[in-house]
């Protein structure tokens, strides 16, 4: 590791103590940001860590909806996002106004929203789920319950097939995962015969073509898989940032991205300098208006407790 990076990391560790901050980083963050974090994980794990912390400051190295979730769960704490450009293309695919219109067309339906949504959309939702618990959440609803699932149609389609529930799906998708195609899997299989293929359920390739994939997993599910596998090579269909953690946990297996171009531009807005500046200047403070937060908290706390 280079001198300037080590110096920045030391500065961040010092500032973290000075500010009494906890640093949470998503699995897609840059390797050097993951290295300096207190906790690294998927959306569910990081929501739990945000709910548990006794530190007054939460620095979220992730995207806006993750920082908002931390704020909703901790109204009295200061939540910082190092760069306000760290949004999420999937979360942008539905507004609260659009959801209200959709709900009015289906009176009596229950709304299950993926955590990749704005606080306003969460406030209009009955349940929040992540990629780790979406199947469990939907399966826990009564058999005849009408369900609106949003915003990711690929995750929704996967959950619909796994649970056999009739769900209405919002036609949103993640700009990074939706591009992955079954043909890419076939090409990777031909190049690496016998290598298992694991995919995130937001992938276009996970929809309708599950026979092409060995396992469908959340990002933490992939990390656990990496720890356990003895396969010489594994093909990983998700954002490339996760490969750092997988390779570090299991150096004997070669983890190859299905697509080297699967880079989330929002996650990559954050680097070590942004993290340092965020702590030094206590910016950018994430706030969620009280009434919105109160409504969204009910749906989120249901998820955290499950």
Task: List contacts with ligand 13P (CB under 6 A).
Answer: 27, 42-43, 116, 130-131, 174, 200, 202, 218-219
Q: Which residues contact 264 (CB under 8 A, 6 or more apart)?
A: 28, 176, 239, 241
Q: Which of 53, 116, 133, 218 binds ligand SF4 (CB under 6 A)?
A: 116
Instruction: State the minimum distance, in angstroms, from the CB of residue 162 to ligand 13P.
Output: 16
Q: Which helix (H) or strand (E) holds 240?
A: none
Pick one of ligand 13P, ligand SF4, none as the site partner of residue 266 (Cβ within 5 to 8 A by kind). Answer: ligand SF4
Q: Which of 159, 239, 255, 278 binds ligand SF4 (CB under 6 A)?
A: 239
Pick one of ligand 13P, ligand SF4, none as the site partner of residue 219 (Cβ within 5 to 8 A by kind). Answer: ligand 13P
Tokens describing residue 134 = 């979406």
Q: Which is nearer to ligand 13P, 8 or 46 (CB)?
A: 46
Instruction: State the minimum distance, in angstroms, from the CB of residue 131 to ligand SF4.
Output: 9
Pairing of strands 78-80, 110-114: unpaired
Residue 243 engages ligand SF4 in binding (rule: CB under 6 A): no
Q: Which residues contact 159 (CB under 8 A, 6 or more apart)?
A: 134, 135, 138, 149, 165, 167, 201
Place of tokens 């826990």: 140
Question: Are residues 155 and 170 in contact, defined by beta-carbon separation less than 8 angstroms?
Answer: no
Instruction: State the minimum distance, in angstroms, from the CB of residue 239 to ligand 13P.
Output: 6
For the range 242-249, what are the long-range contacts, defined as Cβ-Cβ under 8 Å and sequence gap of 24 or more? 242/27, 242/28, 244/31, 244/34, 245/27, 245/34, 245/40, 246/222, 249/223
Pick one of ligand SF4, ligand 13P, none as the site partner of residue 133 (Cβ within 5 to 8 A by kind). Answer: none
Residue list 3-62, contact with ligand SF4 (CB under 6 A): none
Tokens describing residue 156 = 């929704």
Kindly list the distances between the CA atom of residue 33 and the CA atoms of 27, 60, 79, 85, 271, in Å, as whole numbers in the listed order.
10, 11, 17, 17, 7
Residue list 260-279, contact with ligand SF4 (CB under 6 A): 264, 266-267
Instruction: State the minimum distance, in angstroms, from the CB of residue 22 to ligand 13P.
Output: 18
Binding mask 143-182 for ligand SF4 (x = CB under 6 A): -------------------------------xxxx-----
Q: Which is nearer to ligand 13P, 103 or 162 (CB)?
A: 162
Pairing of strands 197-199, 233-237: parallel
- Say how far apart CA 203 and CA 142 lie, in whole Å: 28
Which residues sit at the interface with ligand SF4, rule CB under 6 A? 63, 88-90, 116, 174-177, 202, 239, 264, 266-267
């Amino acid at each position: 590791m280079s001198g300037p990076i080590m110096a920045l990391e030391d500065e961040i560790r010092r500032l973290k103590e000075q500010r009494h901050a906890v640093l949470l980083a998503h699995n897609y963050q840059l390797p050097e940001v993951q290295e300096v974090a207190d906790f690294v994980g998927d959306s569910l794990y990081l929501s739990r860590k945000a709910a548990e912390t006794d530190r007054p400051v939460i620095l979220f190295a992730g995207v806006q909806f993750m920082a908002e979730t931390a704020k909703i769960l901790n109204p009295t704490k200061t939540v910082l996002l190092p760069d306000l450009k760290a949004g999420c293309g999937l979360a942008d695919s539905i507004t609260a106004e659009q959801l209200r219109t959709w709900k009015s067309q289906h009176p009596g339906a229950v709304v299950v929203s993926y955590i990749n949504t704005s606080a306003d959309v969460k406030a209009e939702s009955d349940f929040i789920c992540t990629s780790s618990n979406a199947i469990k959440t939907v399966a826990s609803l009564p058999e005849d319950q009408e369900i609106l699932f949003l915003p990711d149609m690929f995750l929704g389609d996967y959950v619909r097939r796994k649970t056999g529930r009739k769900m209405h799906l919002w036609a949103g998708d993640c700009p990074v995962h939706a591009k992955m195609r079954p043909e890419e899997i076939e090409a990777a299989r031909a190049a690496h015969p016998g290598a298992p293929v694991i995919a995130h359920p937001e992938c276009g390739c996970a929809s309708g073509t599950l026979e092409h994939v060995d396992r469908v997993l959340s990002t933490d599910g992939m990390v656990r898989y990496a720890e356990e596998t003895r396969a010489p090579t594994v093909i990983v269909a998700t954002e490339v940032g996760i490969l750092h953690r997988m390779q570090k946990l299991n150096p004997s297996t070669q983890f190859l991205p299905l697509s080297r171009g699967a880079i989330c531009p929002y996650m990559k807005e954050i680097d070590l300098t942004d993290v340092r500046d965020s702590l030094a200047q206590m910016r950018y403070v994430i706030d969620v208006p009280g009434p919105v937060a109160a409504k969204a908290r009910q749906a989120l706390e249901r998820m955290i407790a499950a």
